[in-house]
Structure 1
Amino acid sequence: MYMTGCELDFNWTVVLVVCFGSLLSFISLLKKRTPSMMLSPHAMTMLFTSERNQAVRLRMESVGPGSETPITIHQLFLEAVESYGDHPALVFRKGGRMMTLTWRQYYEQCRAAAKSFLKLGLERYHGVGILGFNSPEWFISDIGCILAGGLAAGIYTTNSAEACHYVASNCEANVLVVENHQQLEKILQLPHLKAIVQYEGELEQKAEFLYTWDQFMKLGENIPNKRLNAVIDSLRANECCTLIYTSGTTGNPKGVMLSHDNITWTARTVSKMINLHCCEEVLISYLPLSHIAAQMMDIWCSMSLIATAHFAEPDALKGSLVNTLKEARPTGFLGVPRVWEKIQESMKAVGAKGSALRKRVADWAKSIGLQYSYSAMNGENEVPWGFMLANNLVFKRVRYELGLDRCKLCCTGAAPITKETLDYFMSLSIPVKELYGMSESSGPHAIISVVCLCSVGKVMAGCKTKLDKPDADGNGEICFWGRHVFMGYLNMPDKTAEALDEQGWLHSGDLGKHDEDDFLYITGRIKEIIITAGGENIPPVPIEDAVKHELPIISNAMLIGDKQKFLSMLLTLKCVMDDEGNPTDILSPEAVDICRQLNVRATKVSEIIANKEPVLYKAIQDGINRFNKTSTSNAQKIQKWILLEKDFSVHGGELGPTLKLRRPIVAKMYQDQINKLYSR
C-alpha cells in the first residue's frame, strides 16, 4: 500500500506513542511487582554496611542457584495468599479454644498491624521491638512492622531490663510489643518510644501510650490502603527489614541486619533442600523467635512452604511441649540439642521404671534400630532380621507417644549435639539431621539431606564455603559466601569489618574440615579454643561431650585451662527443674537410679556435695580416668574437677536462650572455684 508523507509521519507517531506507553506500563509494572530489582546506585558497589537506611549489593550468581530474581517479604507473602489463601496458616489456643487463621486472614491482620504502626508514627528504618513468647501476635507484629517500613527486632524474654533497653535504644524503637505486664515493666521509659502494645491480658496501668492488642489493631482502620501500598511498593529486596540480636556473651548484643533478600532467598532455598512439600507441612513454634533458627523455620520457611504453624504453650520447655507435639503431630520438627537431650533423659527415666522383660525388649529393638539406621546412612539399606517386628513393637509406639509419628524431618542446630544423643534417636529409627549456620547467615549455611553422623551436611545450593588458613589436618576457619550473608551489624562498622573481609566473605569463627564427599564437620570454635601454658590448642566441646558420655549422671561439663599448666573441669549433676526452668536441689530420676546402682542413698545434690559422697566421687574420677586413657596427648588430659552446687540454666545466666554454654559468664561466676583448682 502506498502512503503519503503525512500518513507515514502520523503512523510513526502512533508507533512511538504506543511504544512509549508500553515502556511506562512496563516501568509501572516493574515498580509494582518487582521492587527488588530497583537498586540504588550506592548498593551496586557495597556488599555490606552498618547503616540502617543503606542498601547493599546482592551476592547473586549469574546462572543457576543463587541467580533467582530477588523479592521482598511482601511479595513472598502475597504469592502464598494469592495461591493458597484459604489454607490454614496459624493454629493457636485462645481462651481454651483452638483457633485458626488462614493465609488470607493472616495477611489481612498483618496489613492491619502495619496501618496501626503507621498511625502510631513508626518511622522508616526505625525498630519495633517484640518481647514475648511465640504467638500469632508475635508473627503479625513482625511482618506488620516490615510492611510499614520498619525494622523488626525480637528481644529475648529472658533479657534483663538493662539488656532490653540496650536493644530498644540500638534499633531506635518507636514501638514495643510485649506479651504481658511482667515484660512491660522492663521497658516503660525509653527514648524514641511512641507506644507500647501488650498482647496478653489487660493493662494493669493506664497511660496514653499504652495499648491492648485489640486497641492497637483498630488504630489504623482509617489509614487508607493507598498509603500503606505506597510504603510496600517502596520496599527494596536489598534493604534491611529485620534485626537479629546476638546473645551478647562477651559484650553488648550485636544487631545483625538482614535484608528482604537474605530472608526470602534463604527461606526458598531451604524449603527446596529439606524435601518438604507445599501445603502439606505442619510445624510447631516454641523456640525463641528472637533467634534466627526459630524465626527462619517458623515464619519464613512456613511462608515459603505454605505450611501450618501450631503454637506451643509458654511452658513448652518445662514439659508441655510433648502435649503440643501429640496434638499437632508435626511433619517437621526443629529442636536445639538440649531439647533432644531432655527428651532422651525423659525416655530413659521412663524406661528405667519398666520391668526386666520390657528393658530386654527395648534394648534388643534399639540395637536392631541402630544397625538399620547405620546401614541406611551408609547407603546400604540392608534391613536386619527382626527390624519389622521391632518397628511394630517399639518404634511406632515411641514415635506416636512423642507426637512424631508423621514427622518426615527431625533436625537440630544452634549448638553442637553429641554422638550419643544422635545414636540414641537413630536406635529408635528417628534420625536427627544437623543444620549449621549462624544469625549472620540468615540461619542455615549447611544442611544435611541424608544422615551423615557428626557432619552438618553440605553447603546450601547457591552458597560457597572456604576454609581459611587450614592446618596440616585440613582444619581451617569456615567462611561463608552467598545471598544468605548478612548486611552488617547495626551501628558497628568495626565489628562488621571484623566479620566480613574485603571480598565480602563472612568469617564464622568456627573451625571445620571437609571429607572426600564434601561433607562439612565442625571441629571447634576459635574463641573457645583453650591454649594451655605449654602452647597446646585444645577445642573443649569434644572433651566435654566425651566426659558426659562416660558419666551419664553429669548434666553440664565445662573444660577450663586457658593459659594454665593443665586442664580442669566444672561439672554439674542432673537434677529436676522447677516450673520456671530453674535447677532444684532434687536429683533427676536418672541420677537417682545411677546412685542406687552405686548403693548411694542420696536424693539431693546438696547431700552429695556436703558429704563428698565417696562412692560417687570415685565413680566420677573413674570416668575421668577412662577418658584420659583415650586422650591424644598428656596436655588433653583432665587433671582436676569440681562438682558445682547447682546445674546451669538460662535464668542462672550460664546458658543462652538456645541453651548454649556461655563460657565467659560461667568462668566469671565460678572464678573462686576455678582459682582453688589451680592454687593447690
Structure 2
Amino acid sequence: MSSAQYLLENRPHSVAHLFLSRVEATPEREAYRHPVAVGDGGEEWRSLTWAQTARRVEAIAAGLLALGLRTEERVAISSSTRIEWILADMGVMCAGAAATAVYPSTNGEETAYILADSDSRAIFVENAEQLAKVTAHRDGLPGLRHAILFDPAPDAAGAGGLEVLTLAELERHGDEHLAKHPDAVRAAVRGIVPEQLATLIYTSGTTGRPKGVRLVHDCWSYQGAAQMATGLVLPDDVQFLWLPLSHVFGKALIAGQVQSGHVMAVDGRIDRIITNLPVVRPTIMASAPRVFEKVYNGIAARARAEGGAKYKIFRWAAKVARDHARTAQEQRAATGRSRIPLSLALQHALADRLVYGRIRAAFGGRLRGSASGSAALAPEIGYFFAGAGVNVLEGYGLTETSAACTVNPADDGRVGTVGKPLPGTEVRIAEDGEILLRGPGIMRGYHNLPDKTAEVLESDGWFRTGDIGEIDKDGYVRITDRKKDLFKTSGGKYVAPTEIESRFKAACPFASNILVIGNGRNYCTALITLDESVIMPWAAANGLAGRAYADVVTSPEVHALVDGFVQRVNGDLQRWQTLKKFAVLPRDLDVEHGELTPSLKVKRPVVESAYAGLVEAMYEGSREA
C-alpha cells in the first residue's frame, strides 16, 4: 500500500480528531501567524504554537457547550478572514456542533435568510456592523439566542434580545466549564462520527437564493489527507491565507494545514496582500485568477509607463516567459523531460536576471506553488507566470465538492487545464459533455432541499457539476464552459462565452471584467469594465489627465483602445464567436451592487438586466432570426 493510499484510508473521523492529534504530535511548533495592532497605528505579526491554539480552541468549544449547544446544532460565523475565524470554527467542530459560514459582505436580508434556513442557534460576528445586520432582522430569527463579538462593541449587550458576549468572555466561560467538567471537550470530540454535519456553506448563487451545502466531517478529513498525499502541502511550508474563510476554498486550506502541521499566516485584508507578501515570504499561497490578472496588468502598466527600452525589455521578457513555459510543458507531455532549445534557454536566463527575479521577489521570493481556483485563469497569463518562476497551479472544485477535486501537480503542471483528480476522487464525462464527480469530498446534499439535491446527486454517488469539460489521454481535466452559460446564436451556432472572455482578459492588460452576450441573437456582443488602477495612468499619459474614471472609460479614446484588443481577439475566433460590438461600462462590477458573488464570479442575469439598455442598443437595427 502506498503512503498516499494509507493516508487516505486511515484518515481520522473528523478535523476535530485531526486537530487534537496534531496538537499532541507537535505542540510547540508554530501553527499560526497573525497581525496585531501596536502603538499608534502600527502592527506586528505574532505567533501561536499548536499548544497555544489548542488552549483557546478548547476554551471556545467549552464555552459553546456551556451555552447549551448540542450535536450538529448550527453556529454561524460572519467575519472577514482573521485568526479568530479559525479559532471559532475549530471550537465549533470540537464542540460537536456545525458551522454556518456567512460572508461579511452579505447584506442583512440575505444574512437573515441564511441564519433562518440553517436554524443557527448562535453566531460569531466580527464587529458591531455585522451584529447590526443580525439584530435588524431579529424577529425572523426566533432560534438565534447568542452572539459572540470578535471586536468588543460599546452598548452591544442584549442587542435585539440576544445574549451578546465578547470572544474573551466566551473563553472565560469555557475555562469555568472545564474546571467543573475537564473532559467535556474531549468527550464531545470522541462522539463525532465521519458522517456528522460539520459545515453549512451557502452557495453564493449567480442566480436565485443561495443553497446550503451540507459538508460532513469526513469531507474535511478527506481534503486534509488528499492535499497531503499529493504534496500540495508539506510540513515545512509557510502558507499565506487571505482568501475568505466563508468560501469553501479557504476552509479546505485549513484542513490541509492541520493535516501537515505547517505554518499559516492569516490576514484577510485585500489591500494588505502586496505589503504582506515580502514580510510573510510564503512558500505556498492560494488565490483567485483575478489576483494574478491584476498583478500582471500592474507589471505591464508600470513597464509601459517607464516607456522606451524598459517597456521593450518587458515585452520581450514576457514573450520569452510564455515561449519557455509552453515549450517546457509540451516537452514534458511528449517525452517526460523539459528539454529547452539552447537559444531559448539563454534568452530565458537573461530575462530572469532583468525581469523575472523582481516578480518572484514581489511574491516573497520563496513561493514554490500558488493554487488558483474559483474561475479560469487565462492561459497566456498562466504561461507568463510559469515562465517567470511563479508556479500557478490551477485546480477545480465547487462548494458541493468541499473545494478541490482536481489540481495540477507541482512538478508537471499544464496551463489551460485544472490538473488531475485528487486521490480518491473519480471524474468522468457524461454524454453531453458535463463533468461528473464522485468521492468522499462530495456534499451530502442541499440543506432542506431534497428535490434540488436529487437534481445533481445520482443514487450511485455521482455529482453533476454543471460544467462542461474533457479529460485528455494523460488524465488532465479541462473545463470548457459552464453548462448553463453556453448559448446558441439565432444562426444555430453554440458559443462558449468563458473561452472568449478568457482570451480577452489575456489580450487586454486594462481589462477587469467582461460579459459576452449573444443568446438567441444573430451576433455576439460584450459588456466590458476596465481596471481603474491601470487605465487611469494610461489616460493621464494620453491626453485625458484630470478626468474622472467614468469619463475616461466612456471616452472615444478608450473605446478605440479597447477596440484594438477586441479585434486582436476576434482574429483568433470563429466567425460566429467574434464580438461585433461592445460597450465599456462607466464603473466596474462589484459585490455591493449584486453583480459579483462574494467569490467574484459575475452574476450574468443581474448584469444583463442592469445594462439592458446598453445591450439592446448594440442590437438595434440587427435582423433577428
Q: 1:467 to 1:588 in 2, by over 3 A?
A: same
- Three-state SS of the structure 2 residue aligned to 1:112 is helix
Q: Which residue of 1 aligns with 2:371?
A: 411
Answer yes or no: is 1:214 the counterpart of 2:168: yes
- Classify 1:413/1:125 alpha carbon distance in 2 versus 1 (closer, same or farther; 3 Å): same
1:161 aligns with 2:108: yes
Residue 276 of structure 1 and its aligned partner are, at CA, apart by 3.5
Q: 1:274 aligns with which of 210, 221, 231?
A: 231
Bigger CA drift: 439-448 or 426-435? 426-435
Cα distance in 2 for residues equivalent to 1:381 and 1:283:
31
In structure 2, the CA distance between the partners of 1:217 and 1:70, relative to structure 1 (3 Å rule), is closer
1:98 aligns with 2:45: yes
**1:255–1:347: structure 2 CA closer, same or farther, 3 Å change rule?**
same
What amino acid sits opposite 2:186 in the alignment?
Answer: N
Which residue pairs with 2:576 in the alignment? 635
Q: 1:305 aligns with which of 218, 243, 260?
A: 260
TM-aligned CA distance change 1:64 to 1:228, over 3 Å: closer
- CA pair 655-588 structure 1, distance change in 2 beyond 3 A: farther
Q: Per-residue deviation at 1:550?
A: 4.1
Report the alpha carbon displacement of residue 129 of structure 1 after superposing the two structures with TM. Answer: 0.7
Match of 1:172 in 2: 119
- Note if 1:660 corresponds to 2:601: yes
CA displacement, residues 539-580 of structure 1 (integer Å, 9 cap, x when unaligned): 10111222334443332210112222332211223214xxxx
1:390 aligns with 2:351: yes
Residues 457-484 of structure 1: per-residue CA shift (max 9 Å, x gap): 11111211110114xxxxx100001111
Aligned mates of 1:389, 1:557 — CA distance in 2 = 35
Q: Which amino acid aligns with 2:617?
A: K
Task: Give the equivalent residue in structure 1 for 2:425.
Answer: 463
Q: 1:139 aligns with which of 86, 101, 120?
A: 86
Match of 2:41 in 1: none
Q: Quickly say closer, same or farther: Cα 1:143–1:69, change in 2 above 3 A.
A: closer
Write the letter of the residue equivalent to 1:74.
Answer: A
1:588 to 536, 552, 574: 536
- Pick which of 266-275 and 375-384 moved more: 375-384
- Which amino acid counterpart does residue 28 of structure 2 have in structure 1? D
| Higher alpha-carbon deviation: 362-371 or 494-503 | 362-371
Fraction of identical pairs, as percent: 27
In 1, the alpha carbon distance for the partners of 2:456 and 2:539 equals 42
User: Amino acid of the residue matched to residue 30 of structure 2?
Assistant: P
Residue identity opposite 1:79 in structure 2: S
Aligned match of 1:27:
none
1:543 to 479, 500, 503: 500
Give the Cα separation in 2 of the matches to 1:640 and 1:356. 33
Q: Alignment partner of 1:294: what SS?
A: helix
Question: Which consecutive residues of structure 2, in runs of 5 or more, have no partner in the other structure?
Answer: 39-43, 333-337
Counterparts of residues 182-221 of structure 1 (less than 5 Å):
182-188=129-135, 189=138, 190-207=141-158, 209-221=163-175
Q: CA deviation at 1:329?
A: 0.5
2:206 matched residue in structure 1? 249
Where 2:415 maps in the other structure, the secondary structure is coil
Residue equivalent to 2:362: 401
Query: Counterparts of 1:64-75 in structure 2 under 5 Å?
Result: 67-75=9-17
* Cα separation, 2, equivalents of 1:623 and 1:644: 16
TM-score, normalization by structure 2: 0.89
Spell out the pairing of 1:254-653 with structure 2 (5 A cutoff).
Answer: 254-278=211-235, 280-297=236-253, 299-312=254-267, 314=268, 316-317=269-270, 319-354=271-306, 356-377=308-329, 378-379=331-332, 380-382=338-340, 384-403=345-364, 405-449=365-409, 450-470=412-432, 476-576=433-533, 587-590=535-538, 592=540, 596=542, 603-608=547-552, 612-613=555-556, 615-632=557-574, 634-653=575-594
Q: Secondary structure at the match of 1:174?
A: strand
Q: How far did residue 355 of structure 1 move?
A: 5.7
Shift of 1:452: 0.8
1:389: how far off?
A: 4.1
- Alignment-derived partner of residue 335 in structure 2: none
Which whole-Å deviations, capped at 9, do the CAs of 1:159-203 have from their partners, x for residues lacking one?
Answer: 000111111111111111011111111002122111101101433
Alpha-carbon offset, residue 65 of structure 1 = 7.8
- Displacement of 1:302: 0.8
Q: Answer with 379-388 or 476-485: which moved more.
A: 379-388
Per-residue CA deviation, residues 306-328 of structure 1 (Å, 9 max, x unaligned), is: 0111122x5x32x3211111111
Letter of the 1:401 counterpart? A
2-structure distance, mates of 1:339, 1:609:
22
Q: Give, in angstroms, the shift of residue 386 of structure 1.
A: 4.4
Bigger shift: residues 388-397 or 521-530:
388-397
Q: 1:80 to 1:590 in 2, by over 3 A?
A: farther
Which segments of 5 or more consecutive residues in structure 1 lack a partner in the other structure? 1-62, 471-475, 577-585
Residue 560 to residue 413, structure 1, CA distance change in 2 (3 Å): same
User: Structure 1 residues 514 and 368, CA, compared in 2 at 3 Å: closer, same or farther?
Assistant: same
The change in CA–CA distance for 1:200 and 1:251 in structure 2 (over 3 A counts) is same
Determine if contact 2:457/2:463 at 8 Å carries over to the other structure.
yes
The Cα shift of 1:373 comes to 2.6
CA distance in 1, matches of 2:506, 2:318: 18
In the aligned structure 1, how far is the partner of 2:553 from the partner of 2:348?
45
Q: Give the SS at the match of 1:258.
A: strand
Q: Deviations over 1:383-415 (max 9, x none)?
A: 611444433443233212332x11111221011
Cα distance in 2 for residues equivalent to 1:210 and 1:371: 59
Find the aligned partners of 2:597 and 2:116 in 1 and give their Cα distance.
Answer: 22
CA shift digits 1:114-138 (9 cap, x unpaired): 1111112223222111111111211
What SS class does the counterpart of residue 111 from structure 2 fall into? Answer: helix
Counterpart contact for 1:240–1:258, Cα < 8 Å: yes
The more displaced of 348-357 and 268-277 is 348-357
**What is the CA RMSD across the aligned residues, in angstroms?**
2.2
Question: Is this contact kept in 1: 2:381–2:506, CA < 8 A?
Answer: no
The structure with the largest alpha-carbon Rg is 1
Which string of whole-angstrom CA distances, capped at 9 and with x for unpartnered residues, describes residues 350-377 of structure 1?
Answer: 2233363433444444444334333432
Task: Give 1:293 deviation, angstroms.
Answer: 0.8
Letter in 1 for 2:594: G
Could you tell me whether the CA contact under 8 Å between 1:329 and 1:406 is conserved in 2? Answer: yes
Misfit runs of 4+, over 6 Å: none
Aligned counterparts of 1:568 and 1:624: Cα–Cα separation in 2:
10
For 1:209 and 1:438, the matched residues in 2 are separated by 35
Supply the distance in 2 between the matched residues of 1:283 and 1:656 (Cα, whole angstroms). 25
TM-score, with structure 1 as normaliser: 0.82
Q: Is the 8 A contact 2:510 2:535 kept in 1?
A: no
In structure 1, the partner of 2:25 is 83
Distance in 2, Cα, partners of 1:65 & 1:532: 49
